[in-house]
Amino acid sequence: MTQPSQLRIAVAGASGLIGTALTRSLEADGHEVVRLVRRPARTANEAEWDPKRQYVHAAGLAGCTAVVNLAGAGVGDRRWTAAYKKELRDSRVLGTAALAEAIAALDEPPRVFVNGSAIGYYGDTGEHAVDENAPAGEGFLPSMCVAWEEAAGAAVEAGIRTVFARSGLVVARKGGAWGRMFPLFKAGLGGRLGDGRQYWSFIALHDEVAALRHLIDTEELSGPVNLTAPEPVTNREVTAAMGRALHRPTLFTAPAPALRIVLGEMASDVLCSQRVLPARLLDSGFTFAFPTIGEAVGAALR
């Protein structure tokens, strides 16, 4: 594995939770980051794109060693109406296809295309632990993840090393699903969801960023790679860890029927069990800084 002293890396979704942390990390180490923006580019470190129109100003990606695609509407941002499910899918599939086709057409394409994906690919695994060899599950999220990964086909066919970063629940104090949990637990209103037996496969934000950089740098990695901590835990264990870290009681519960009324179809994602292991990440030599739920929550609070 070799790496120049400075890389030029394009990031789509650079303003999101993970994208912001990734670009900060890359720039702190002296790398040049090109942000994909949905307006005319104002600097040499911006490139215009429009996922809905499947447009990418490809010249702005010239000279990039890697392209990282983290763009997509937030899964938990709104109730899953038919219109929002279409937005969730299109924001990922159309954007991925546009980027894959743009970089495949470059005279000097990037060495690697790291495309976001999610452990939603596996659906509900119950108590059964799965790794990257497991098939896709059934339902909206698995079908969306399959289409999301397939949309990168142009990059794969062009011989660009393409990695699908199947991320778990990112533990962060602000942003994402966990960012909405912290205020509730801090107020003493936290508690388990449903019966609490469902597995949550999490990853600390620090480790998420480190893993994405590992995918960029590790030339033998391609295809799906699970970005989850090595010790998935149940929702009951998450609840207990949050209570301990914040020194608050966790007496409240959200029964499954109530969640289905409030969240609609999205409740199935909250209540399903996903026990996902990062087999390929570990096999490639990656080391987690915060492998346990207690450490991940503590890191987020710091």
In tens, the pLDDT along 160-216 reads 999 999 999 999 998 888 988 999 999 999 999 999 999 999 999 999 999 999 999
Indicate the CATH number of 8-301 among 1.10.8.60, 3.40.50.720, 3.10.180.10, 3.90.1150.10. 3.40.50.720
Can you give the pLDDT at residue 2?
43
For the stretch 44-83, pLDDT in tens is 999 999 999 999 999 999 999 999 999 999 998 888 999 9
- Tokens 């040499």, located at residue: 44
Judged against a pLDDT cut of 60, whether residue 250 lies above it is answered with yes
Model confidence pLDDT, tens digit, residues 149-170: 999 999 999 999 999 999 999 9
CA 137 to chain centre: 18
pLDDT digits (tens, 9 = 90+) for 106-117: 999 999 999 999
Contact between residue 21 and residue 70 where contact means Cβ atoms under 8 Å apart:
no
Task: Provide the 3-class DSSP secondary structure of residue 91.
Answer: helix
C-beta separation of 156 from 115 below 8 A: no
Confidence of residue 119 (pLDDT cuts 50, 70, 90): very high
Q: In whole angstroms, what separates CA 153 from the centre of its chain?
A: 19
Q: Half-sphere exposure of residue 105, counting CA atoms within 13 Å on the CB side?
A: 11
pLDDT band at 140 (very low <50, low <70, confident <90, very high): very high
* C-alpha to C-alpha distance for 118 and 43, rounded to whole angstroms: 32
* Residue 235 near residue 192 (C-beta atoms within 8 A): yes
Signed CA dihedral, 280, 273, 205, 46: sign only: positive
